[in-house]
Amino acid sequence: MARVAMLGSGTWGFALATLLGSNGHTVTAWARNPILVKQLQTRREHPKLPGNLTDPNVHFVSDIEQALERADIIIESVTSAGIRSVFSSIDTKELPIVVTSKGIEQKTGLLLPEVIADIIGEPRSKRVGCLSGPSHAEEVMRKLPTSVVSSGYDMTFASRIMELFITPTFRVYPNSDIHGVCFGGAMKNIIAIACGISDGLGSGDNAKAALMTRGLHEIRKLCVVKQCRAETLNGLSGMGDLCVTCMSTHSRNYRFGRLIAEGLSPEGARQKVGMAVEGVYSCVSARELGIKYNIPVPITEVTYDIIYSELDPREAMKKLMQRAIKEEHL
């Protein structure tokens, strides 16, 4: 059994810590907020996941060094915006690192495993991997059937991640394309915001199906700049994650978009969601990549304009529908 340092105790970190604890691993979970840590220590449930108790093997601390002490492996579950600052502040002690957040770093365009590799000074490090796929914390806590993907720059490590997490209700498929796995997980959040906006406007299922399909096409076009295999996006970490994030009210990105369509400002919508909305951050990064490599990303562009340039959501939908029509290429 492993001794796990879980960095981040949001709902996803809490759910993964609980899953690992139930697998017999000893988990020390770190959170920056001491008030949250106190709640987790005493109530054994996350305030955003009421009624779902964690496993006795999980312990919570507000001292990150305490979490890392005697650990065999680090599981990351902070935010894409915070991952560089967190890992730049610690000594990873050459421990293997599993990334579970989903995003693309702004300005650098790096995927999160690339950010970790950049910090530790080991490009394409064999001790860096990821876990991604269609998985809501609420359903993992309830032990509902879930299938995800593990990956790494080294497939031996991807298999180790699989063995660490797999349970009778949490199925893990190893995949050698770590960039493709992470790119799909990051980009689907942007499309989910657009789908939430569309539903909030009452645009109907036809419109959402078009946004999801053309959104996947947009992701496939852009994925080449990160040396991804396009076929990876047909799997769990691409189409699978896109479906669950665009169609579920558990999705904070979808809810964020819907709240904007209902009249809230982006900041008001973010506060109402009450948790990190990763698509808001990655939207900037994806747009930067599109501009840098001259690849059109129209859904990403209008989503960016709604969030950052006060474009009216109805005008955004009109803008997408009035684009010049070209032959559909898949």
What is the C-alpha to C-alpha distance for residues 104 and 280, in angstroms, rounded to an integer?
A: 11
Q: Which residues pair with 53 in a beta bridge?
A: 45
What is the C-alpha to C-alpha distance for residues 30 and 226, in angstroms, rounded to an integer?
A: 31
Residue 274: both structure tokens together: 């009450």
DSSP string, 136-147: -HHHHHTT--EE
**Pairing state between β 170-175 and 146-152:** parallel
What SS3 string covers 39-67?
A: HHHHHCECCCCCCCECCCCEEEECCHHHH
Burial class (CB in 10 A: 0-12, 13-18, 19+), 115: buried
Query: Rounded to the nearest 10 degrees, how much is the dihedral formed by the CA atoms of 33, 34, 35, 36?
Result: 60
| Pick from 86, 88, 91, 112: nearest CA to 100 | 112
What is the C-alpha to C-alpha distance for residues 270 and 145, in angstroms, rounded to an integer?
A: 29
What is the C-alpha to C-alpha distance for residues 58 and 16, in angstroms, rounded to an integer?
A: 10
Residue 188 annotated as catalytic: yes
| Pick from 160, 305, 174, 298: nearest CA to 236 | 174
Which of 188, 208, 226, 326 is labelled catalytic? 188
Q: Which residues are catalytic?
A: 188
